[in-house]
Amino acid sequence: MKAFLLAAGEGRRLRPLTDSLPKCLVPIRGTPLLAIWLRLLEAHGITDVLVNVHHFHERITDFLSSCQTPVVVKTVHEPRLLGSAGTVLANRDFVATEESFLVLYADNLTAVDLRKMIAFHSGRSEALTLGVTPTDRPTEKGTVVIGSHGQVIEFAEKAAQPRSNLANAGIYVANQAVFEYLPRSLPAAGVLDFGYDVLPRMVPHVAAYRIDEFLMDIGTPEAYARAQEVWPGHLQ
């Protein structure tokens, strides 16, 4: 199986740390976040990964060129950000021969069991399975309401009055059918985001998968400091 690992974000909330370092390379107990992701992918049988880069892109490509991993890594430089869905659309050929594939937000720290999530998705009929996790800051997240059969019946990105505290975890398993919900080409604005532009339109053709393993958004200095204390340091 192949995966998109989205690593192009500027990490503005994590400044000043990201003034000199891309967010995906910030160290967690001495190990770059991107290295933790590659270990996770290797542990769960992912063979190929496409990493999009933008902010300090040379630092990321240099790191990957020296990183020892059996996962085949392809980097794609985005001179301007395309958005999470925009990257997938622009690189559709990367997964053209795959029945299903992963889309992962590299700015999260997680020990999710990807094999379990992939198996869950394979037993569903929806075009996409969305990993969800509880949050105490629902107004800052994309939140979901889940129906009685495990499908997403409502998705709202950073709603002022969210109807749920279950947040988008930034971990998706998708079929080729997901491209039916994407435009043929990038919009004039050049940015296409899963949270704002795609997932609300896909409801109810999205399944929800509750992630029980460790998952943490390290997007602020406070969260990053906390991650150094609570990261278990092992993968499933």
Least confident segment among 65-74, 94-103, 154-163? 65-74
Rg of the chain on CA atoms, in Å: 17
How much is the pLDDT for 186?
82
Q: What is the mean pLDDT of residues 170-194?
A: 91
DSSP one-letter code for 38: H
Element (H, E) at 74: strand 72-77
The band of 14, judged by pLDDT with boundaries at 50, 70 and 90, is low
Q: Give the mean pLDDT of 193-199.
A: 94
Residue 11 has pLDDT above 60, yes or no: no
Q: What is the mean pLDDT of residues 108-117?
A: 95
Quickly state the pLDDT bin for 10 (edges 50, 70, 90): low
Higher pLDDT, 197 or 16: 197
210 burial (CB, 10 Å; 0-12 / 13-18 / 19+) is: middle
In this structure, the number of other CB atoms found within 10 A of the CB of residue 176 comes to 15
Count of beta carbons in the 10 Å neighbourhood of residue 181: 18
Place 194 in a pLDDT band, splitting at 50, 70 and 90.
very high
* pLDDT the model gives residue 61: 87
Domain boundaries, the chain: 2-230
Q: Specify the range with the lowest mean pLDDT, choosing from 83-87, 98-102, 146-150, 189-193.
A: 189-193
pLDDT digits 0-9 by tens, 199-236: 999 999 999 999 999 999 888 888 888 988 999 876 65
Question: pLDDT for 127-163, tens place per residue?
Answer: 999 999 999 888 988 999 999 999 999 999 999 998 9
pTM of the predicted structure, to 2 decimals? 0.93
User: What is the C-alpha to C-alpha distance for residues 208 and 217, in angstroms, rounded to an integer?
Assistant: 19
87 token code pair? 């990257």
More confident residue, 189 or 73: 73
Q: What is the pLDDT of the chain when averaged over all its residues? A: 90
pLDDT-derived band at 165, boundaries 50, 70, 90: very high
Residue 202's pLDDT is what? 95
pLDDT at 16 (0 to 100):
64
Confidence of residue 57 (pLDDT cuts 50, 70, 90): confident
What CATH fold (topology level) applies to the domain 2-230?
A: Spore Coat Polysaccharide Biosynthesis Protein SpsA; Chain A (3.90.550)
Question: Amino acid letter at 31?
Answer: T
Structure tokens at 193: 């985001």
62 band by pLDDT with thresholds 50, 70 and 90: confident
Question: What would the DSSP string read from start to end of 140-165?
Answer: GSEEEEE-TTSBEEEEEES-SS-S-S
- Confirm if 50 and 64 have CB atoms less than 8 A apart: no
